[in-house]
Copies of this chain bind each other. A is one copy, B any other.
Amino acid sequence: MSEQENPPILITIAVIGGTGKEGSGLSRRWASSGYRVIIGSRDAAHAKQQAQMLNTELGAEYVLGMDNLSAAREANLIVLSVPYSAHKVTLDTLHGVLQGKILVDVTVPLVPPQIRTVTIPKGKAAGLEAQAILGPNVRVVSAFQHISASHLKDDDEHVASDVLVCGDDTDAKTQVIQLAQAAGMRGLDAGPLANAVAIESMGPVLLYLNMRYKSKGAGIVITGIDQT
């Protein structure tokens, strides 16, 4: 992977489940903003293939592909973008290599087929479950649940959706707010990790609104605050 001219910050981001639409869209935006990005997948070959596709689109070798464990090992900030059914098993696998790092949990605890109805998971929120699984040495931040992959395809598209960022560590939240900005969105500090309950459960509501009003990209914007 070639060095970029002006990396904004010395962060390597691993996107676990980065071959999915959402993870892939975020990866491309971060890579084109100068972050070093590693796409992780259970299948290393699939991850390499996806990384190559993004590099072709970006016109440079910005993105690497690896198996999930290697990707998480190489990164300081790990974004978890997997279906809820794979949430616990993935975190159990990555437990060791995540210690001392930041985990950004993008997971919405959808329970198919009722994906448009809020279901509260056992641990109240996927983000809280991640913190419980990983222990206190991992700084878990909950964010990016409301960003429709359909908006991330075009790098120039302004995404009319805020990124609500919850977590118990202020520095980690600040880094994730910067990641949101790097991906073309406004990041807002939305409180402690306990507030992930609200952020995650708005996921099914947006899916319902998409169905109800025949849309693909319903998003949330916070009004009434003076923050860009």
Chain A positions within 8 Å of B, measured between CB atoms, are 116-120, 124, 148, 151, 160-161, 164, 188-192, 194-195, 197-199, 201-202, 204-206, 208-210, 212-227
- Contacting residues, chain B, for A151 (C-beta < 8 A): 224
User: Of B161, B204, B212, B227, which one neighbours A198 at CB under 8 angstroms?
Assistant: B204
Bound together, the chains give a CA A124 to CA B201 distance in angstroms of 12
Whether A210 touches B198, Cβ cut-off 8 Å, given contacts A204-B191, A205-B191, is: no
User: 29 pairs across A/B with beta carbons < 8 Å?
Assistant: A116-B191, A117-B191, A117-B192, A118-B195, A118-B197, A148-B224, A151-B224, A160-B223, A188-B212, A190-B205, A190-B209, A191-B209, A195-B201, A195-B205, A197-B201, A198-B201, A198-B202, A201-B201, A202-B202, A206-B222, A213-B227, A215-B224, A217-B223, A218-B222, A218-B224, A218-B225, A219-B223, A219-B224, A221-B222
Most chain B CB atoms below 10 A, which of A201, A204, A214: A201
- Contacting residues, chain B, for A198 (C-beta < 8 A): 118, 198, 201-202, 204-205
Bound together, the chains give a CA A209 to CA B223 distance in angstroms of 10
Copies in the complex: 2
Whether B208 lies near A215 (C-beta < 8 A) is no
- Contacting residues, chain B, for A191 (C-beta < 8 A): 116-117, 204-205, 208-209, 212
User: Of B124, B161, B214, B215, which one neighbours A120 at CB under 8 angstroms?
Assistant: B124
Bound together, the chains give a CA A124 to CA B202 distance in angstroms of 15
Bound together, the chains give a CA A120 to CA B201 distance in angstroms of 12
Whether A220 lies near B218 (C-beta < 8 A) is no
Whether A161 lies near B218 (C-beta < 8 A) is no
- Contacting residues, chain B, for A199 (C-beta < 8 A): 205
